[in-house]
């Protein structure tokens, strides 16, 4: 199911085909399926729908061995993109206390560090956000590969959110030049990269894979 949705996004940026499949797909109580629906709504720029998708997960977590993220961080990003600053800040503010406890217990968990960085970026705490981004890069287990790509994508997102375009574009260049669960089509779809679109260096990124 997951690959059937991701493949149209990665290969062609084809939202109608992924939407058609999502609408037919079962809806198990699993964060990976919630995330698919969230991303589809985000790529369609239907931010209210993205929020609705995450609402049942407000007090739950998304976890793998490379990811540790309160689901409320997705809701916060959707509110931010929708331009609702008050709700976005409230959602971002819910994360540092949750993450802080776990980071103190597991200081070498890069997934926690990246999530904390996104929360700090959403709250405008630039220095704290960049510190966590740097720490996440230091904790990467490998130089390249899928598990590294999720780290670099989060670091690029943190940098974008706090206005550090140089760092964001450098990480995106690496993502597109090495094997990764990422593509030029995702750059075009995802509104989280909108702050970079006027930058000539960002506009050149697509040409790297032509």
User: Is 143's pLDDT higher than 90?
Assistant: no
3-state secondary structure of 142: coil
What is the Cα–Cα distance from 209 to 138, expressed in whole angstroms?
27
Query: Would you say 34 and 57 are in contact if contact means Cβ atoms under 8 Å apart?
Result: yes
- Which pLDDT band holds residue 28 (cuts at 50, 70, 90)? confident
- Which pLDDT band holds residue 210 (cuts at 50, 70, 90)? very low
What is the Cα–Cα distance from 74 to 80, expressed in whole angstroms?
10
Find the Cα–Cα–Cα–Cα dihedral 39, 41, 45, 49, rounded to 10°: -130
What is the Cα–Cα distance from 73 to 93, expressed in whole angstroms?
9
pLDDT (tens digit per residue) in 159-208: 999 999 999 999 999 999 888 888 999 999 999 999 999 999 999 986 65
For position 16, what pLDDT does the model report?
A: 94
User: Is 146's pLDDT higher than 80?
Assistant: no
CA atoms within a 13 Å half-sphere pointing along the CA-CB vector of 90 = 6
DSSP assignment string, 156-207: HHHHHHTT-HHHHHHHHHHHHHSS-S--HHHHHH-GGGGGGTTSHHHHTGGG
Q: For the stretch 120-154, what's the b/e string if a residue is b when 16 or more beta carbons lie within 10 angstroms of its beta carbon?
A: bbbbebbebbbebbebbbebbeeeeeebbbbbbbb
């Amino acid at each position: 199911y997951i690959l059937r949705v991701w493949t149209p996004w990665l290969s062609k940026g084809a939202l109608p085909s992924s939407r058609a499949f999502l609408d037919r797909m079962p809806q198990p109580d699993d964060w990976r399926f919630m995330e698919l629906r969230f991303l589809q709504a985000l790529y369609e720029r239907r931010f209210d729908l993205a929020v609705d998708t995450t609402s049942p997960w407000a007090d739950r977590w998304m976890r793998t061995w490379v990811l540790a993220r309160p689901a409320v961080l997705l809701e916060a990003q959707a509110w931010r993109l929708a331009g609702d600053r008050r709700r976005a800040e409230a959602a971002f503010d819910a994360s540092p206390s949750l993450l802080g406890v776990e980071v103190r217990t597991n200081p070498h968990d890069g997934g926690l560090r990246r999530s904390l960085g996104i929360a700090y970026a959403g709250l405008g705490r630039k220095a704290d956000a960049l510190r966590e981004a740097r720490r996440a890069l230091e904790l990467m287990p490998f130089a390249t590969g899928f598990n590294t790509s999720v780290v670099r994508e989060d670091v690029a997102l943190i940098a974008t959110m706090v206005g550090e375009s140089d760092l964001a574009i450098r990480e995106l260049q690496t993502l597109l030049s090495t094997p990764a669960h990422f593509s030029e089509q995702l750059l075009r779809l995802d509104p989280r990269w909108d702050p970079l679109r006027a930058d000539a260096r960002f506009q050149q990124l697509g040409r790297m894979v032509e």
